[in-house]
């Protein structure tokens, strides 16, 4: 065993000896991270509670989000401000609600719930909670294998000839669990997909776009 590996084992055993009981669930910040937000509502720091257009930000009021916040995310996400809606802090509830709305109201055709045996394409391995949402609504999932560039686009092109295939849900950057980022070629192919279903939707869960 080389010395590098030895020292890794040593470190590993040190952690084991600490007998830690950690909650490793995703999205749980540590206390120090939480404390960073303590001053957010401190008026001395903030000066006032008005946004630049005069909106009182401690109350409801702006359906699509505070404009300063949209501008901030526009830079981070590289998306024009007009295409941004600021919701609450859990994207899973948005994704659930979106699929739910498609089921009830449709996405440019009859409600999905009123169409028989609809399907979604799912790059695998993928994110279990995406799959849980689709499963909950009884949407059949079709596995699309991942390669080092992203999902198998030839296979996707074949599947979307079927108008029962209503969409695909994907994580384009650092896709869990294997960390693959879709190549430019794959993304261009996404942009030029020609699905038979006129209510086809690409759900682009770019959850890790700032995680580098």
Minimum CB–partner distance for residue 131 and ligand PLP (Å):
11
Kindly indicate which of the ranges 3-11, 54-62, 89-97, 138-146 contains the residues binding ligand PLP, using the contact rule CB under 6 A: 89-97
Kindly indicate which of the ranges 2-10, 15-23, 34-42, 90-98 contains the residues binding ligand PLP, using the contact rule CB under 6 A: 90-98
CB distance 150 to 182 below 8 Å: yes
Minimum CB–partner distance for residue 18 and ligand PLP (Å):
26
- CB closer to ligand PLP, 46 vs 132: 132
Among residues 188, 168, 181, which one has the least CA distance to residue 207? 181
Minimum CB–partner distance for residue 72 and ligand PLP (Å):
17
Query: Considering the rule CB under 6 A, would residue 211 count as an interface residue with ligand PLP?
Result: no
Among residues 103, 111, 105, 165, which one has the least CA distance to residue 138? 103
The site string for ligand PLP over 141-180 (x = CB under 6 A, - otherwise) reads ------------------------------x----x----
CB distance 112 to 118 below 8 Å: yes
* Residues 120-139 close enough to bind ligand PLP by CB under 6 A: 127
- CB closer to ligand PLP, 139 vs 197: 139
- Distance in angstroms (rounded) separating the CA atoms of residues 118 and 139: 6
Kindly indicate which of the ranges 39-47, 68-76, 88-96, 188-196 contains the residues binding ligand PLP, using the contact rule CB under 6 A: 88-96
- Distance in angstroms (rounded) separating the CA atoms of residues 76 and 61: 24
CB distance 112 to 199 below 8 Å: yes
Q: Which residues bind ligand PLP (CB under 6 A)?
A: 26-27, 90-92, 127, 171, 176, 205, 207
């Amino acid at each position: 065993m080389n010395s590098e590996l030895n020292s890794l084992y040593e470190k590993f055993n040190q952690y084991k000896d600490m007998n830690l009981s950690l909650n490793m669930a995703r999205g749980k910040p540590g206390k120090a991270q939480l404390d960073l937000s303590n001053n957010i509502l401190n008026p001395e720091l903030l000066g006032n509670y008005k946004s630049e257009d005069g909106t009182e930000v401690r109350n409801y009021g702006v359906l699509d989000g505070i404009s300063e916040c949209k501008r901030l995310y526009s830079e981070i996400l590289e998306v024009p401000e007009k295409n941004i809606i600021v919701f609450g802090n859990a994207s899973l509830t948005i994704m659930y609600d979106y699929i739910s709305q498609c089921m009830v109201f449709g996405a440019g055709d009859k409600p999905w719930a009123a169409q028989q045996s609809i399907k979604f394409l799912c790059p695998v391995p993928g994110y279990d909670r995406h799959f849980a949402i689709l499963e909950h609504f009884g949407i059949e999932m079709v596995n699309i294998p991942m390669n080092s560039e992203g999902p198998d686009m030839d296979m996707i092109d074949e599947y979307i000839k079927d108008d029962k295939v209503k969409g695909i849900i994907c994580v384009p950057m650092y896709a869990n669990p294997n960390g693959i980022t879709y190549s430019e070629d794959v993304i261009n192919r996404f942009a030029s997909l020609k699905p038979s279903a006129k209510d086809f939707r690409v759900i682009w869960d770019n959850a890790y776009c700032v995680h580098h």
